[in-house]
Amino acid sequence: MLRSMIAGAALIALTACSSPPPAMPENATAVGAVAERSFAVPMSSPGAPPVIVHIDYMPSVSRGPQARFAGRIWASSNVASVEVRTNLFSINATKRGIGTFTYDTSVYDLPPIFIRAYRLRVIARTTAGVEAEEDLPFRIR
């Protein structure tokens, strides 16, 4: 009895520690698989602030060796790098062209404690280190 009460209290404490997922921003699309499409990339001077034009991403992913997590980001021309991260992982997106970035990675089998909602942060940076960020809802299931 005491053991189940302690386990229940621990579960409540862990659930209370996780923050609610953010709302879906207008410049993002939740997709099951990344489609071939394109958005206009604004041409910006190197000193201008970075702009995240659009994000296609998978809002949830199953864990396991065959699971894939992929997405595409369109940003202004002065964006030098894009980082996709949660408090569990950080992915440096591959630059495919001016203002176009992609990522595609495997999701390994995680312990059950990591199966929950997360805040997925997409951070675009210029060469000067100026950042633009969008926060997206994301779930490992």
- For the chain, the domains span 22-140
Looking at the DSSP bridge assignments, the partners of residue 61 are 140
Q: What is the pLDDT of residues 10-61, one digit of tens each?
A: 545 454 456 677 888 999 988 887 777 889 999 999 999 999 999 999 999 8
Indicate the pTM of the whole model: 0.82
| Structural class in CATH, domain 22-140 | mainly beta
What is the Cα–Cα distance from 130 to 124, expressed in whole angstroms? Answer: 8
